Amino acid sequence: MSAAIVTLAAEALTLQLGTARVLDGVSAGFLPGEVTAICGPNGAGKSSLLACLAALHAPTQGRVTLDGAALSALPAQARARAIGYLPQAPEVAWSISVETLAGLGRLPWRTGAVEDAAAVAAALAALDLGGFARRSVATLSGGERARALLARVLAGRPRWILADEPLAALDLAHQLALLGQLRVQALGGTGVVLVLHDLALAMNHAARVVVLDAGRIVADGPPEVALSESVIARVWGVTARWLGEPGARALSAGGGIDR
Amino acid sequence: MTRPTLLLILALVITVPLSLLAGRVWIDPFHPAIPNATAILMQLRLPRAVLALVVGAGLGASGAAMQGYLRNPLADPGLFGIAPGAALGAVLSLYFGYAAQGFLLPAFALVGAGSAMALLALIAGRDAGVALFTLAGMMLASLAGALTSLAISLSPNPFALSEIVTWLMGALTDRGWHEVAIAAPLTAAGIALLWTARRGLDALTLGEAAARSLGIEPARLQWLMVAGVGLCVGAGVAVAGIIGFVGLIVPHLVRGLTDGRPSTLLVPSALAGALLLLVADVVCRLLPMATELRLGIALSLVGAPFFLALLLRMRKGLA
């Protein structure tokens, strides 16, 4: 990993919310063209780290940089064009069509009706939603809805996609399909950072895994290293064994251990 | 221009001239037999119709903006406490007997609306989320309501009392160009501010976090909402008293004609609000009653059942 191509980076982030120190000196650089998974037990600070990377939280100390410059100094529109953020359990307030939903991703751009429409059509096509353009989001199934919400992010053509548990509430087939689509985006040069709960999916599909525990980074590297059995025992307090071949690993969890 | 906008403009083009002919005295456009038909038209009905359009447009646009801002179809422009603030100002002017001076009542109402807006603005932009901000608005509303009740209960004489109670019901009776000159520019400015907030409201469809990630600055949006809704509602209350339900109903009437985004709802809601208030005012004028039915009462009579039907339909949609 050469420092020169790291374009989105957390530098010694500390986030204090009330009396809770949610993040404590977190430093991590992210690479374009790579899928990075942020893993950790509940309350480890995963979502907070992602929100800091998206400039939704202002860190108490430290900073987030984009292309070497402080993200907080960037105009909101420039930031919104560079970084697409998909919140945990995203909501859609009104009964709007899939096409209109994806069009909301063009809000930071508004470069012209033709270009906006082309970007929306491309995003829908990339996620195989062409036939759903006029359907109301409220009538979609969970898997279709997750794709439509991702289409909103893709329509903005961001250089970075930050998604907070995008696979929650999806069945296995839809999880794999959505991950596949995110990997396609990464192959195109987009940096993808995901908060993932499912360690097996992170192991098999992320190029890199950052493990957080109690607001600190405890492991950072290729999944085989960052999610080793000893890390899982230490962080999650679970005795577990990886089975199968690289790329098709399955986690066999034995049970909780006293820490 | 979108199709619902065109349809509503067409409806207004037909309704406005017709509304001018209707009243206690009907005017036949082809045989104006009544001696002072011109005076009735130009000094009574035209300003009244224009005022109905202005107040209705302001209420409709603020209702659409409020529902978009709160992501709630049950939101109403009164929630910010600006209308009760304006009403309190007006009631104080009646309480002190200043209202005989034609311009003082609207002036007091505008000061009341402005004070409510200033208090909200103090809260706005302080990193208060939408929910906290709205709760602050509701507290303001109930405080202004309590002070209004206090003024009523302490009113110095029965005349002031009856004036206050009648005024609170809201009406366009006997309004003239004077009131138009007050309300029209303020409402126009308010609608223009809400129009600049439209992209922020669209982004809020996805929730606060996603809206911010799309480059929306919540503090700026809060300012635009306070100023835009405040100008529309404050101006409306200053010239017509409290007219409820328009801001709540109108966005629902036109939402089905739009693509659902708050931005596409703003202009049709303003037009539909104008149309609704104009028609309601004509109906009030025509009903064969000893005194004219107050516009505010009429709209609440129609609005409350509509609201109930809406709730029932939403419950069915959820089930």
Number of domains in chain B: 1
Q: Coil, strand or helix: which one is B227?
A: helix
Per the document, the length of chain B is 319
Whole domain around residue B95: which residue ranges?
47-318
pLDDT at res. A254? 77
Question: Which positions in chain A touch B203 (Cβ < 8 Å)?
Answer: 104, 107
The low-confidence residues of chain B, meaning pLDDT below 50, are 319
Looking at chain A from residue 99 to 158, which residues have their Cβ under 8 Å from any Cβ of chain B?
100, 104-105, 107-108, 152, 156
d(C-alpha B54, C-alpha B184), whole Å: 6
Kindly state the greatest CA–CA separation across chain A: 60
Question: How far apart are the C-alpha atoms of B109 and B104, rounded to whole Å?
Answer: 8
Q: Which residues lie closer than 8 Å to B17 by C-beta, 6 or more apart?
A: none
A107 closest CB neighbour out of B199, B209, B260: B199
Specify the pLDDT at position B319.
Answer: 43
Cβ within 8 Å of B, A 189-248: none
B27 is a domain residue: no
Residues B148, B151, B152, B157: what is their CA dihedral angle, to the nearest 10 degrees? Answer: -150
Question: pLDDT value at position B40?
Answer: 81
- In this prediction, residue A2 carries a pLDDT of 43
Q: Which residues of chain A have pLDDT under 70?
A: 1-6, 256-259
Burial of B10 (0-12, 13-18, 19+ CB in 10 A): exposed
Identify all chain A residues contacting B216, using CB atoms and an 8 Å cutoff.
76, 107
Which residues have C-beta within 8 Å of that of residue B230, sequence separation ≥ 6?
Answer: B80, B82, B113, B114, B116, B117, B120, B190
How many residues does this entry show for chain A? 259
CB-based burial, A125-164: b 16+ in 10 Å, e otherwise: ebbebeebbeebbeebeebbbbbbbbbbbbbbbbbbbbbb
- The verdict on a CB contact (< 8 Å) between B209 and A87 is yes
Q: How does pLDDT run across B1-60, given as a tens digit for each residue?
A: 678 899 999 999 999 988 888 877 777 777 766 777 778 888 888 999 999 999 999 999
Helix (H/G/I), strand (E/B), else coil: B102: coil
Q: Using CA atoms, how far apart are residues B235 and B231, in angstroms rounded to an integer? A: 6
Kindly report the CATH number assigned to the domain that includes residue B156.
1.10.3470.10
The answer to the question of residue B26 being in a domain is: no
The helix-helix angle for B262-286 and B46-70 (nearest 10°) equals 140
Instruction: Retrieve residue B315's tokens.
Output: 């419950």
Residue with tokens 């009579």: B301
What pLDDT is recorded for position A110?
A: 77
Strand partners, A26: A13
Contacts of A54 in chain B (CB under 8 A): 213
Amino acid at B248: L
Count of CB atoms situated within 10 Å of the CB of B193: 21
- Whole-angstrom CA distances from A197 to A28, A210, A255, B49, B64 are 19, 12, 17, 62, 39
**Does residue B3 lie in a domain region?**
no
- Give the number of domains in chain A: 1
Tokens 């709730």 found at: B311
Which of B203, B207, B262 has its CB closest to that of A90? B207
pLDDT at residue B317 in the model: 58
DSSP A27-93: EEEE-TT-EEEEE-STTSSHHHHHHHHTTSS--SEEEEEETTEEGGGS-HHHHHHHEEEE-SS----
Provide the b/e sequence for B109-121 (b: ≥16 CB within 10 Å).
bbbbbbbbbebbe
Separation between Cα atoms, residue B96 and residue B105, nearest integer Å = 11
For residue B304, the distance in angstroms to the closest alpha carbon of chain A comes to: 23
Instruction: Please tell me if residue B65 touches chain A, with a CB cutoff of 8 Å.
Output: no
CA B276, B281, B282 angle in degrees (round to 5)? Answer: 100
Instruction: Residue B258: list chain A partners with CB under 8 A.
Output: none
- Over its C-alpha atoms, chain A yields an Rg (Å, rounded) of 18
Backbone torsions φ then ψ of B59, nearest 5 degrees: -65, -40
What's the confidence (pLDDT) of residue B99?
A: 65
For residue A1, the model assigns a pLDDT of 43
Q: How far apart are CA A113 and CA B66, in angstroms?
A: 27
Interface test with B, best of A74, A104, A134, A153 (most B CBs within 10 A): A104
In a domain, B15, yes or no: no
pLDDT at residue B33 in the model: 67
Per-residue tokens: A255 = 């049970």
Q: Tell if the CB–CB gap between A84 and B213 is shorter than 8 Å.
A: yes
* B205/A contact by beta carbon, under 8 A: yes
- Asked whether B316 and B92 are in contact (CB, 8 A), the reply is no
The boundaries of the domain holding residue A157 are 3-256
- How far, CA to CA in Å, does B122 sit from each of A6, B126, B128, B198? 42, 8, 11, 23
Task: Give the CATH number of the domain where residue A75 resides.
Answer: 3.40.50.300
Query: DSSP assignment of A189-203, as one string?
Result: T-EEEEE---HHHHH
Specify the amino acid at residue B131: A
Residue B2 placed within a domain: no
A96 vs B: CB within 8 A? yes
